Amino acid sequence: MAQAVLITGSDGFVGQHLIKYLAGQGLTILAASRSSTNATHQRIRHIQVPDLASTFDWRPLLSQCDAVVHLAGVAHRRASERSYISVNIQGTASLAQAARDTGTKHFVFVSSIAAQCGSFSDQPQSEDSPPRPTNAYGRSKLEAEDAVRSSGVPHTILRPVVIYGLGEKGNFALLSKVARLPIPLPFGSLDAPRSVLSINNFNSAVDFVLTSPHTIGETIIVSDPNVVSVTGMIAAYRVALNRPPNLFSVPEKWIETALSSLGYRAAWNRMGAPLVATPNKLIRMGWKPVHSNFSPGVISIAA
């Protein structure tokens, strides 16, 4: 079992949650990020590092750790192809090679479901599904996975679906704002199944992998066990606010057409179209999720 873990990208939404969780599990955390922050936990030591596109000698930090959780990367949809290559691929390859050279026992690479498929799929996805990324971000994550595998470092690759929780961004933040509106909403018919992932379940999955040597060499999808729909998510947000769901139905096609005409076609694909990628493999390996259903009230809702 790892005693000290280097976590890159520790200042992001996911990283901030993960370092506190793992420190609470008794691990010593070297929290690496580009921003300079003050330690808030006796087991967390913040380390300021340059952009992953820069040349950096990771070995002094790696020599202090048993394991690595590599979160850092470029995920912006407007990022350049060059950024994806230099940060997501080359930066990951450099860190993995340094980890191999220093004898790191376990390198956990947090990839993305985007390495496997697009933002929606008519077919359920599993680790056995042929990877078919549909954008530059997904392709860069898939190439980064290959770089980790070829480095020779003992590794586990995680492919999380979209993550929600306190501090959530993007579409979840938008849904949360919409759910707070004190009016009936016309989203009662948006029932396409989506796999999502709570930050609590993500944290517990990483902890499970770090403490489970039999996960080394595996590529694993991470998601909540049960799927949810836009209708279900908005209703759950409202219930967490002690409000009735108050949803009514209009034809789904109307909403899809309206969002597309306003330039939100990509947002529709990421939330309104189906994507089922369940964590069956991880559960078979012994992971026990913190909760099975979409649970914003446990994590993120404040009136």
Going from the C-alpha of 110 to that of each of 67, 160, 203, 205, the distances in angstroms are: 13, 7, 12, 11
The pLDDT of residue 253 is 85
Higher pLDDT, 54 or 16: 16
Q: Would you state the pLDDT for residue 2?
A: 66
Q: Which residues contact 55 (CB under 8 A, 6 or more apart)?
A: none
Does residue 241 form part of some domain? yes
- One domain for residues 138 and 237: no
Spatial separation of the C-alpha atoms in residues 78 and 62, rounded to whole Å: 32
pLDDT in tens, 89-139: 999 999 999 999 999 999 999 999 999 998 889 999 999 999 999 999 999
Predicted pLDDT of residue 302: 36
- Could you tell me how many helices (H) and strands (E) the chain has, helices first? 12, 9
Contact 75, 110 (CB under 8 A): no
Residue 38 has pLDDT above 70, yes or no: no
Residue type, 169: K
Tokens found for residue 139: 């392709």
- Residue located via tokens 């976590």: 7
Q: What pLDDT is recorded for position 83?
A: 85
The average confidence (pLDDT) of the chain is: 90
The per-residue pLDDT for range 124-178, each reduced to its tens digit, is 999 999 999 999 999 999 999 999 999 999 999 999 999 999 888 777 888 888 8
Name the pLDDT band for 292 (thresholds 50, 70, 90): very high
C-alpha distances out from residue 279 to 43, 108, 209, Å: 30, 17, 13
What lies within 8 Å, CB to CB, of 79 at 6+ separation is: 136, 137
The pair of structure tokens assigned to 1 is 């079992």
Query: Is residue 298 included in any domain, yes or no?
Result: no
**256 pLDDT band (50/70/90 cuts)?**
confident
Same structural domain, 219 and 119: yes
Q: State the Cα–Cα distance between residues 99 and 61, nearest whole angstrom.
A: 10
| In-domain check, residue 136 | yes
Contact 220, 159 (CB under 8 A): yes
CA distance 21 to 210: 13
Q: What is the pLDDT of residue 1?
A: 59
Is 220's pLDDT higher than 80?
yes
Whether 63 has a pLDDT exceeding 70, the answer reads yes
Does residue 303 carry a pLDDT above 60? no
pLDDT tens per residue across span 259-289? 778 777 777 777 778 999 999 999 999 999 9
- Where residue 37 falls among pLDDT bands split at 50, 70, 90? low
Q: Decide if 299 is inside a domain.
A: no
Residue in the block written with tokens 């929780």:
165
* Residue 296 reports pLDDT greater than 90: no
What letter represents residue 238's amino acid?
Answer: R
> What is the pLDDT, as a whole number, of residue 173?
84
The rounded distance, in Å, linking the Cα atoms of 178 and 93 is 40
Are residues 45 and 22 in contact, defined by beta-carbon separation less than 8 angstroms?
no
The reply to whether 71 and 37 lie within a common domain is: yes
Cα 204 from chain centroid (whole Å): 13
Residues 161 and 241 placed together within one structural domain of the fold: no
Query: 117 and 207, same structural domain?
Result: yes
Whether 219 and 103 share a structural domain = yes
Are residues 209 and 255 both part of a single domain?
no
DSSP structure class, residue 194:
B
Give the whole-number percent of the chain exceeding pLDDT 70: 95
* pLDDT for res 79: 74
Higher pLDDT pick, 173 / 245? 245
d(CA 123, CA 112): 18
Residues 122 and 264 in one domain: no
Residue reference for tokens 């789904």: 252
256 lies in the same domain as 179: yes
Return the CATH number at 161: 3.40.50.720
- Say if 234 falls within a structural domain: yes
The whole-angstrom separation of Cα 11 and Cα 252 is 38
pLDDT of residue 36: 64
Instruction: Flag whether 262 is in a domain.
Output: yes
DSSP element (H, E) containing 98: helix 92-101
Do residues 211 and 239 share a domain? no
Q: Is residue 302, in this structure, part of any structural domain at all? A: no
Q: Are residues 256 and 125 in the same domain?
A: no
What total of structural domains would you count in the chain?
2
What residues contact residue 19 under an 8 Å CB cut-off, 6+ apart? 7, 10, 29, 31, 41, 44
Same domain, 258 and 161: no
Residue-range definition of the domain harbouring residue 49? 4-165+197-223+277-291
Select the more confidently predicted residue: 174 or 87: 87
- Give the per-residue pLDDT at 261: 82
Residue 301 lies in a domain: no
